């Protein structure tokens, strides 16, 4: 499968999720910006995928990232980020969302398992109420310490200023 084929519109994703469910597969959902892929992302996504059968990744659009992180972000455009994320063997589908939070996307996908990193508490994970109301689970996975896009950007900026 080409990585492009894993990047789906919401209606196409909903159809695919329905097919997976009819096969008895558990749908895991997570989301993020994934501006620069690093070890922390790979480890996190691999652990998330191990919690179920299929991993759906909600990816912030460029406009969403700019609103959240400021005008200097994202560093890579949304289609570049989506192709990189879709190329990972443990990511089964990538879908964009333009809102500041993935709440509407979570309502539309209705995942069985919602996952974020352990820098979140379960009560503070957007969409946890939606997932638990339908009998799903909300989980956190441990993050690899010291890895973040912000830290990488700072390191590059510091090297350029010396």
Q: SS3 for 100?
A: coil
> 117-158, pLDDT tens digit by residue?
999 999 999 999 999 999 999 999 998 887 676 667 677 777
CA pair distance 130, 116, nearest whole angstrom: 15
* 3-state secondary structure (DSSP) of residue 12: helix
Task: Write out pLDDT tens, residues 72-112.
Answer: 899 999 999 999 999 999 999 999 999 999 999 999 999 99
Cα separation, 80 vs 35, in Å, equals 9
SS3 content of the chain, % helix, strand, coil (to 5): 45, 20, 35
Read off the tokens for 133: 């109301």
137 has which bridge partners?
Answer: 113
3-state secondary structure of 137: strand
Rounded CA Rg of the chain: 16
The model's pLDDT over 15-71, given as tens digits with 9 standing for 90+, comes to 999 999 999 999 999 999 998 898 999 999 999 999 999 999 999 999 999 999 999
Spatial distance between the Cα atoms of 29 and 74, rounded to a whole number of angstroms: 22
* Contact (CB, 8 A) for 114 and 128: yes
Burial (0-12, 13-18, 19+ Cβ within 10 Å), 86:
buried
């Amino acid at each position: 499968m080409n990585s492009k084929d894993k990047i789906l519109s919401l209606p196409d994703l909903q159809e695919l999720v329905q097919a997976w469910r009819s096969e008895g597969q558990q749908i895991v959902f997570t989301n993020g910006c994934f501006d620069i892929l690093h070890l922390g992302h790979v480890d996190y996504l691999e652990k998330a995928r191990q919690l179920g059968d299929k991993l759906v990744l909600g990816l912030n659009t460029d406009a969403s990232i700019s609103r959240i992180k400021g005008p200097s972000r994202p560093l890579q455009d949304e289609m570049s980020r989506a192709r990189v994320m879709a190329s990972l063997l443990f990511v089964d589908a990538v879908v964009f969302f333009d809102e500041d939070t993935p709440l509407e996307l979570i309502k539309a996908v209705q995942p069985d398992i919602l996952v974020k990193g352990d820098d979140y508490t379960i009560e503070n994970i957007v969409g946890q109420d939606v997932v638990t109301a339908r009998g799903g689970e909300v989980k956190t996975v441990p993050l690899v310490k010291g890895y973040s896009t912000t830290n990488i950007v700072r390191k590059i900026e510091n090297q350029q200023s010396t």
